[in-house]
Structure 1
Amino acid sequence: MSESAQAEQPRLGSVTCASRSGFHRMAYWEWGDPANDRVLLCVHGLTRSGRDFDHVARALQGDYRVICPDVAGRGRSDWLIDPANYIVPQYVADMVALVARLQARQIDWIGTSMGGLIGMVLAGTAAASPGLRPDRGVWGLGRAPDVPLGRMVFNDIGPALDLDGLGRIADYVGEASRFKNFADAVAYVRSTSEGFGPHDEQGWTELTEHVFNQQDGEWVKHYDLRLAQPFASQTPEALAGAERVLWRAWEHLPGPVLVLRGQDSDILPASVAQEMLQRNPQARCVEFAGVGHAPTLRSPDQIAAVRDFLLA
């Protein structure tokens, strides 16, 4: 990668979205030619930000206009008035607003963890799968406008929701961690994100700098801690219902699908990944050794797997 590419920074934009409690602004990071109508939409995990995709965006900005939103309640986006709206259906509605703004000829998708679930539901809603009520679509969202979805990458996530893995994440989502210096914030991210796999010191620094903000002389998490409330209140019955919806959406995805999996993942078990391949013949899977949840799409092999699939 050239020094000029290393130094390049994304442009910051925003789109106005609506929830049951009013309007909010969702920020997004944009790479590449703003006139390019071939868009790659990259959506991050539960407590992360759109800047997680800096490396893969730099690698693909010559082929795509790369858009990396900060999902509501995170990064540069507004926090929601009612924390009960920090749920996948709201995030899907926000993405529909963003898609309408982009006016793309084709949208390919990379979704890490939560970002994959959002993409799965969005695709299922747009497809209006047979057997779903046509006035309600997927998850009761109603019929989405035409979304020109193409190839989709699901990064360490699938339709089956592992309770143990979700519980591990829930343990730290609502923690109000505050640090006097940035080095301590880096150490915290390193300790809670071991599943990201091995990274050098610069890597951990970059994985921290966009998820902690300096406030009143301390480093604090970038997201609204209240997003843990609906996440922690999920019941086994609700998760089972969500799984049924997600599997149906998975089986009706519109185009080729790539599943990325950390071999040590506690969110996407190998058995679930195998079932995903069986239930969607357009899907294939690439695994990364020494990685859990989730591959960060920063290393050359991970970027190459994504690039080769999207540009095939």
Structure 2
Amino acid sequence: MHTDSVLCLNGQGFHRMVYRQWGSAENDRVLVCVHGLARNSRDFDDIAKVLARDYRVICPDVVGRGTSDWLPAGAEYGIPQYLSDMTTLLARLNVDKVDWLGTSMGGIIGMCLAAMPNSPIHSLIINDVGSFIPSSALQRISGYLGDKRFASMQEVEQFMRTNYTALKNISDQQWAHLARHGVRELDDGQLAIHYDPAIATATAANAANDIDLSLFWQAVNCHQALIWGEESDILSADTVRQMQAQRPEMELLSLPGIGHAPSLMEDDQIHWVQDWLRRHQR
């Protein structure tokens, strides 16, 4: 794994977005993996190690998360900023086409990019998010965000186990990995989740309304796959059926007993993604 960064533009200046690269830098087959709202690029370490056999795998820390810069006070965390940042990243990678794997927010970013004319997205795998997101799910997520403090790594891991129930089948070692890379140490020795608390404020401000992305989904013309945790409150069965009706060619991995969002750290999920990408390779 190699760590690099790219300078991106916001309304008040520039910020640096950090990304991890797996596999050969000479490989012109590029897979971009983008994490969820309050997560970071290290969520993809396990799957990136496997997919790096076929791809140059790029895993960014979206602005405000992980080791990337935070936006300046008053700047807005939202999809327009993320689309701008990802466009800058794609330009840095210097390739005409990429494949995209996005979890939750990362899936929304990929969907929006893939819906645009002349999009560089060749194939799109969306992990547990779809063309309609109910406000009730946004409010649930908003409830565990914020400037939370912890006294130990054990408290961090317990917080994650409590709130990320879809990851219930990963190993203790994987939980420890997520906790270790998911916090920052404060000056007083306490630990905080590795994101800008302003993200929680922005999420809460927008959680009162449903999000309808159906027009974007209808405009996606690349190869598509959807990973669905059947117990997800972000992605309902009705939304899955509507997406299938609009895009009958979309392939679906349905995971019973799993909520939002599947880990992509389990062998069966990793191998499904690997197989799908190989069948749709350029």
Are residue 218 (structure 1) and residue 209 (structure 2) matched?
no
Deviation at 1:229, TM superposition (A): 1.9
SS of the residue aligned with 1:311? helix
Q: Report if the CA contact (8 A) 2:170-2:265 is conserved.
A: no
- 2:16 maps to which residue? 25
Describe how 1:1-312 pairs up with structure 2 within 5 A.
10-125=1-116, 127=117, 146-174=118-146, 176-216=147-187, 217-234=189-206, 239=209, 242-243=211-212, 246-312=213-279
Offset, 1:36: 0.9
State the partner residue of 1:135. Answer: none
Looking at structure 2, the residues matched to 69 and 260 of structure 1 have their Cα atoms a distance apart, in angstroms, of 21
Deviations 1:173-202 (A, max 9, x none): 12x221221111111111111122322321
| SS of alignment partner, residue 66 of structure 1 | strand
Structure 2 runs not aligned, ≥5 long: none
Residue 165 of structure 1 and its aligned partner are, at CA, apart by 1.1
8 A contact 1:99–1:147 mirrored in 2: no
**TM-score scaled to structure 2, two decimals?**
0.94
Give me the TM-score of the superposition, normalised by structure 1: 0.86
User: Is the 2:170–2:266 contact (alpha carbons within 8 Å) kept by the matching residues of 1?
Assistant: no
Tell me the secondary structure at the aligned position of residue 33 of structure 1: coil
CA contact (8 A) 2:111 2:220 kept: yes
Q: Give the paired residue count.
A: 278
- Give the Cα–Cα distance (whole angstroms) in 2 for the partners of residues 205 and 235 of structure 1: 30
Please say if residues 124 and 222 of structure 2, whose CA atoms lie closer than 8 Å, have aligned partners that are also in contact.
Answer: yes
Structure 1: tracts of 5 or more residues without a match: 1-9, 128-145
> Which amino acid letter does the alignment assign opposite residue 35 of structure 1?
E
Match for 2:246: what amino acid? R
Deviation at 1:84, TM superposition (A): 4.4
Cα deviation, residue 83, structure 1: 4.8
8 A Cα contact 2:97 2:120, kept in partner: yes
Q: Deviations over 1:29-61 (max 9, x none)?
A: 100001111100000000000111111101110
Q: CA deviation at 1:121?
A: 1.0
- Which deviates more, 26-35 or 82-91? 82-91
| In structure 1, distance between residues paired with 2:76 and 2:150 | 29
CA RMSD of aligned residues (A): 1.4
SS of match in other structure, 1:152:
strand
Tell me the SS of whatever aligns to 1:85: coil
